[in-house]
Amino acid sequence: MSSSQGSSSTAVDKAANDNKSNQCNPNNAENRGHESGYTGTGDKADLDNHANQLNSNNPNYQSSGSK
């Protein structure tokens, strides 16, 4: 492997890592970060559904480890 291939690979890795960092950076002009908090509609049915998804006592609850 020549040194030019190695430095090219390093430049690609750095560019990919920089892009990942900028995607959630609210100070980045191109990508203003992600929305924080719950972004549902906020009506009663929506909030009840959101709560039930997180409630282990609800029969529709499935933990992330179950199939």
Q: What is the DSSP letter of 24?
A: T
Give the pTM.
0.33
Q: Is 60 a domain residue?
A: no
Which are the contacts of 55, defined by CB distance < 8 A and separation ≥ 6?
61
Q: Is 26 a domain residue?
A: yes
Residue 41 belongs to domain spanning: 3-53
Q: Is 45 a domain residue?
A: yes
Summarize the confidence of residues 48-65 as an average pLDDT: 79
Using the predicted structure, report yes or no on whether residue 58 has a pLDDT greater than 80. Answer: yes
Q: Are 22 and 31 in contact (CB under 8 A)?
A: yes
Q: Are 26 and 32 in contact (CB under 8 A)?
A: yes
The terminus-to-terminus CA distance of the chain in angstroms comes to 45
Domain count, the chain: 1
What is the reported pLDDT for 28?
Answer: 72
What is the reported pLDDT for 35?
Answer: 65
What is the reported pLDDT for 5?
Answer: 53
Which are the contacts of 48, defined by CB distance < 8 A and separation ≥ 6?
none
